[in-house]
Amino acid sequence: MHARVLRADLLLLLTAAIWGSGFVAQRLGMESIGPMLYSALRFALGGLVVLPLALRADPRPSARPLAPRAALGAALLAGLVLFGGVTLQQIGLQYTSIANAGFITGLYVVLVPLLGLLTGQRAPAVVWIGAGLAVIGLFLLSVRGDFTVAAGDWLQLAGALCWAVHVLLIDALAPRTHALRLACRQFFACAAASLIAALLFEPIEWAGIVAAAPAIAWGGLLSVGTGYTLQVIAQQDAPAAHAALLMSLEAVFAALAGWWWLGEGLDARALAGCTLMLAGMLLAQGLAGGRPAGG
């Protein structure tokens, strides 16, 4: 396998691991502050972490770079789509179970290649098979008892659509603009939108922010500053559908983090789901190859 593709796969796996562990911080942080304020603070912190590197970065990333104004506009659009995914997921959680939310959000692993067809991106058959295995594994890992459709499930599905669109946006933008600048700009755009939502809909108290500071630091430094930045860097060399499959392993790492830090159960059904998701990833990684030349 080409060295750049292998590097991209490893970075996406690391991204999934960081995001999965971030669920612990997210749960702990929202015990003290609202979800929109938590998102605003962690994305602002992530943007500040990446900003010095983005300012020093070489602004010529490829042979077909976007014009500066177009690159800025595209990054702001990516940040707003990111805000949409975060917001819909958080609001939907108030009206559905965590199991339903986790499963439906993970459906972006199928939505990415489906939406890719609209833009002329055809994923190899093995990626579709891997995505199917990942969905089955995600169901076993996330869903317990009867799966009933709740009002919040439609919001989760809209959120999954946002995540899919975001992956495709990064797929289109990453090869044509500098990764660090793209990441930094989208973080600040998401933070600004989240702060406006928090000011409108949530109580803001300094004591709550102080209590949530460790979780904000974890989410800002790792989930945002490191995880989302690695996603942008990796998608310079990984096709969107392939990247979505690898990043869907976030659910596996979240289950492992919950078991390790919070003492949540990890039974045979959950382990079977993890195994299927890993099988789907390994199948696609081994047979699908990397980004087509010029893709």
Distance, CA of 149 to CA of 164 (rounded, Å): 21
Q: Are 91 and 155 spatial neighbours (Cβ–Cβ below 8 Å)? A: yes
Residue 253, pLDDT score: 73
Residue 257, pLDDT score: 65
Radius of gyration of the chain (CA): 18
pLDDT at residue 20 tops 90: no
Q: What is the tens place of the pLDDT at every residue in 126-184?
A: 777 777 777 777 777 666 666 556 667 788 788 888 988 999 999 888 888 888 999 99
Residue 108, pLDDT score: 77
Compute the average pLDDT of residues 109-114: 79
Q: What is the tens place of the pLDDT at every residue in 278-291?
A: 676 666 655 444 44
Residue 141, pLDDT score: 66
Q: Who wins on pLDDT, 293 or 190?
A: 190
Distance, CA of 90 to CA of 93 (rounded, Å): 5
Q: What is the tens place of the pLDDT at every residue in 244-269?
A: 777 777 777 766 766 666 566 666 77
Total residues found in the chain within this entry? 295
With a CB cutoff of 8 Å and minimum separation 6, the contacts of 190 are 39, 43, 79, 80, 82, 83, 86
pLDDT at residue 65 tops 90: no
Compute the average pLDDT of residues 198-222: 92
Q: Which of 12-21, 36-45, 123-132, 277-286 has the lowest mean pLDDT?
A: 277-286
pLDDT confidence bin for 91, thresholds 50/70/90: confident
Q: Who wins on pLDDT, 26 or 173?
A: 173
Q: Who wins on pLDDT, 82 or 103?
A: 82
217 conformational bin, left if phi > 0, alpha if psi -120 to 50, beta if neither: alpha
Quote the tokens at residue 267: 């039974």
Going by C-alpha positions, the residue among 49, 75, 48 that lies closest to residue 61 is: 75
Residue 59, pLDDT score: 57
What integer best gives the mean pLDDT of the chain?
79
Give percent of the chain above pLDDT 90.
26
Residue 266, pLDDT score: 63
